[in-house]
Amino acid sequence: MSKNLSKVMLFMIAAMLVISTVMISNPGTSHAATTTYKTTDSLNVRIGPGVKYSKIATLKKGSIVTKVSTKGNWWKVKYTASKTGWVNGKYLKAVSTVTATTPSKTTYYYVTESTGLNMRASYSVSSKKVGVTIPYGAKVKIKKTAKNGWIQVAYGGKTGWINADERYGFKSTSNISYTASEPTELQYVLVHDDMNVRSLPSTAAPKLGTVTTDYAARILRVSNSNWAEVQYSDSQKGWISLRTSDTTVTNKEPDQISKPVNGSLAGIKVVVDAGHGGSDPGAGGKDLNGKFITEASLTLQSGKALKEQIEAVGGTVYMTREGNGALSSNKTTDLGLRAKYAAKKGANAFISLHYNSAAASSATGIETLYYQSTSKEFANTIHKNMMASIKEEYPTMKDRGLKYQNVMVLRENSVFATLVELGFVSNPSELSRINTDEYRAVVAEGITNGIIEYYGRD
Ligand SMILES: [Zn+2]
């Protein structure tokens, strides 16, 4: 046997090994082994295999990584689409292929995200893209659902996974099919009573919001089922039923066309936590007139101002308290319930409002806290926007920055969470300045801008 032939055989064996590696590295397919792992605790990522190497990231408990190679107990893993690093393998647990379940009934996912959704090889953003974007308006059949909410679908001749978050679309067992065409001439819809605006021309589609008497908008398309598509918000189109006497269609331009709601936060749900309350007044201090003000009363007023602003741009707000009470008379129980409130409400984010206090009456300024590394960017975006808004009206207000701090409402939260300290009640001149409706509105506007920047996907 010639030397060349054995080389060919070696090449073939190598090629087969490569092929089998590729086959087992797709955790989406059943029967196959997996290279996807979940962290069983918060875990440091280092540049090399050992604690002596410097830390480059910290992964939250439950993060998904893929295995690249190992060296003793140390594993090289891919922890984002492009980043790799070394972690202690002791804290990794294989993600079983059975975490993905097949729906018992035929279920569809309708994509309502205007920029479409990238399909990936597995159920994680760190998994590689398969080269297909499922566009806005598409309907896909759900093959499997992973525990983290990602779904496996087929589209454009490929099979892959997409993030089926409520923000990007909706699931339904109804097979919503429609055709739509642009009106041949300019047409407007006039609304005579409260009408729901939906993401697709069907009552089975989720509601984006409500329009009320005297709403008027240009019709973009009309569906075969007689619904009108309108520009409901700056970023979203929506459908209004024409199959009722509560709407009329006209080709005469109405006196007043309703402006699209600035709906940048449509579909986003935020928990606003007014710190303290009940038997816990929080910190307190005297203003320049000698009047004693409690932190709990300030946070409640700020919470209401923030709720108003978020709702004004289409967002949904759940407040942990709307009166002077707390969720429990026991402080620890109360904080625990607040921390879990967002998950309970199915909210996207949690913002806790507090005011600061210090022994020195000269202490001054605003700071923002985060605990989980996954919330750092969220907290930073809120802080940056809030400070920009405050600095515009109150240029002397001190920026104390973004800080890592272990507080229960952040630590035990499972959504993006931050806590803002909106100034010092122990500083009389600062207290007089921050205990005003103007200041509360400025803060609310800044925080809302931060949420829009973080969630804005235009
Ligand atoms: Zn506080």
Q: Tell me the C-alpha distance between 396 and 74, whole Å.
A: 50
Residue 12 has pLDDT above 60, yes or no: no
Q: Which pLDDT score, from 0 to 100, does residue 258 have?
A: 87
Q: What is the structure's pLDDT at 8?
A: 52
Distance of CA 396 from the midpoint of ligand 1 (Å): 23
Band (246; pLDDT cuts 50, 70, 90): very high
Q: Which residues contact 438 (CB under 8 A, 6 or more apart)?
A: 393
Mean pLDDT, residues 281-288? 96
State the distance from the centre of ligand 1 to the C-alpha of 275, rounded, in angstroms.
Answer: 6
Domain boundary among 156, 172, 188: 172
> Token pair for residue 237?
């189109």
Q: Do residue 347 and residue 386 come from a single domain?
A: yes
Q: How far is the CA of 129 from the centre of ligand 1 (A)?
A: 44
16: Cβ contacts below 8 Å, ≥ 6 apart: none
Report the number of distinct structural domains present in the chain: 4
Residue 374 Cα, ligand 1 centroid: separation in angstroms? Answer: 23
SS3 404: strand
Q: Cα of 303 to ligand 1 centre, how many Å? A: 13
In tens, the pLDDT along 80-125 reads 878 899 999 988 887 755 467 888 899 999 998 877 899 999 888 7
- What is the whole-number distance in angstroms between the Cα of residue 231 and the centre of ligand 1? 42
- pTM across the whole model: 0.55
The per-residue pLDDT for 332 is: 93
Judged by DSSP in three states, 134 sits in strand
What is the identity of the amino acid at 386?
M
Tell me: do 302 and 348 sit in the same domain.
Answer: yes
Q: Which of 172, 194, 221 is the last residue of a domain?
A: 172
Residues 184 and 326 placed together within one structural domain of the fold = no
**Same-domain check for residues 288 and 345:** yes
What is the distance in A from the centroid of ligand 1 to the CA of 354? 4
The pLDDT value given to residue 158: 94
Mind listing the pLDDT tens digit for each residue in 418-457?
Answer: 999 999 999 999 999 999 999 999 999 999 999 988 886 4
Does 352 have pLDDT greater than 90? yes
Closest Cα to residue 383, out of 442, 450, 455, 430? 450
Q: How far is the CA of 422 from the centre of ligand 1 (A)?
A: 10
Note whether 148 and 193 are same-domain residues: no
Residue 423 alpha carbon to ligand 1 centre in Å: 11
- Asked whether residue 266 carries a pLDDT value surpassing 60, the answer given is yes
Report pLDDT for 2.
43
pLDDT for 93: 85
Q: What is the pLDDT at residue 27?
A: 35
Domain boundary among 41, 69, 98: 98
Q: Give the H or E element holding residue 419.
A: strand 416-424
**Same domain, yes or no: 431 and 289:** yes
Q: How far, in Å, from the CA of 265 to the mean position of ligand 1?
A: 27
Residue 16 lies in a domain: no
Strands (E), 96-205: 108-111, 117-120, 129-134, 139-141, 144-145, 150-155, 158-163, 169-172, 180-181, 188-191, 195-198
Q: Do residues 45 and 189 share a domain?
A: no
Q: In angstroms, what is the span from residue 267 Cα to ligand 1's centroid?
A: 29
356, 341: one domain: yes
Q: Are residues 117 and 94 in the same domain?
A: no
How far, in Å, is the centroid of ligand 1 from the Cα of 213? 43
> Looking at the domain assignment, is residue 273 inside a domain?
yes
CATH of the domain at 229: 2.30.30.40
Inside any domain, residue 255:
no
Considering the domain architecture, whether residues 422 and 392 belong to the same structural domain is answered as: yes
Indicate whether 335 belongs to any domain.
yes
Distance (Å) from CA 82 to ligand 1 centroid = 39
Q: Judge whether 20 lies within some domain.
A: no
Residue 261 lies in a domain: no
Residues spanned by the domain of 234: 180-250
1 domain residue, yes or no? no
Q: Tell me the percentage of the chain whose pLDDT exceeds 90.
A: 65
Mean pLDDT over all residues of the chain? 87
Q: What is the pLDDT of residue 263?
A: 61
Give residue 282 CA to ligand 1 midpoint distance, Å. 5
- Residue 222 included in any domain: yes
Q: How far apart are the C-alpha atoms of 265 and 63, rounded to whole Å? A: 27
Give me the pLDDT at residue 3, please: 45
In tens, the pLDDT along 201-242 reads: 999 888 888 888 899 999 999 999 999 999 988 778 899 999
Please tell me the distance from the alpha carbon of residue 190 to that of residue 173, in angstroms, as a whole number.
31
Greatest Cα pair distance, the chain, in angstroms, is 101
**What is the rounded average pLDDT of the residues 373-402?**
94
- Between the CA of 326 and the centroid of ligand 1 the distance, in Å, is 13
Above 50 in pLDDT, residue 155? yes
The three-state DSSP-derived secondary structure of the chain is CCHHHHHHHHHHHHHHHHHHHHHHCCCCCCCCCCCEEEECCCEEEECCCCCCCCEEEEECCCCEEEEEEEECCEEEEECCCCCEEEEEHHHEEECCHHHCECCCCCCEEEECCCCCEEEECCCCCCCCEEEEEECCCCEEECCEECCCCEEEEEECCEEEEEECCCCCEEEECCCCCCCEECCCCCCEEEECCCEEEECCCCCCCCEEEEECCCCEEECCEEECCCEEEEECECCCEEEEECCCCCEEEECCCCCCCCCCECCCCCCCEEEEEECCECCECCCEEECCCCCEEEHHHHHHHHHHHHHHHHHHCCCEEEECCCCCCCCCCCHHHHHHHHHHHHHHHCCCEEEEEEEECCCCCCCCCEEEEECCHHHHHHHHHHHHHHHHHHHHHCCCCCEEEEEECCCHHHHCCCCEEEEEEEEECCCHHHHHHHCCHHHHHHHHHHHHHHHHHHHCCC
Residue 417 has pLDDT above 50, yes or no: yes
Ligand 1: centre distance to CA 456 (Å):
29
Same structural domain, 164 and 207: no
Q: Which pLDDT value is given to residue 13?
A: 52
167 and 216 in one domain? no
Q: What is the CATH number of the domain that holds 374?
A: 3.40.630.40
